[in-house]
Amino acid sequence: MTVLAHDDQTMSQAEIFPTEIAVLYTPAWYSDREREARPLPLSPGDYKITPGHGTERWTVTSLKDGTTVYSGIGPVEIRRPPAAG
């Protein structure tokens, strides 16, 4: 689908409705306070976090295809990226 902008430039549907992405925040191995951030290609609601209990690892799984995108120490969070500004 193609849409014309006000200045007659062609815009794609992806530019009009950008795909939402997510950021996975995990503990950093070198600090108790720092977090590592890793971009994920899907929206936050497309992932399932399974908390580890005891010595078990935390896992993050894609609900789209069942792929495990993270298995490690926790706690972990999935958020929208910070607003550009």
Determine if the pTM surpasses 0.85.
Answer: no
Query: What gap in Å lies between CA 75 and CA 64, rounded to an integer?
Result: 22
Task: Identify the pLDDT of residue 85.
Answer: 63
Instruction: Please give the pLDDT value at position 1.
Output: 47
pLDDT digits 0-9 by tens, 76-85: 999 998 877 6
pLDDT per residue of the chain (85 residues) written in tens, 0 to 9: 444 445 556 655 555 556 688 999 999 989 989 999 999 999 999 999 999 988 899 999 999 999 999 999 999 999 998 877 6
Contact 21, 42 (CB under 8 A): yes
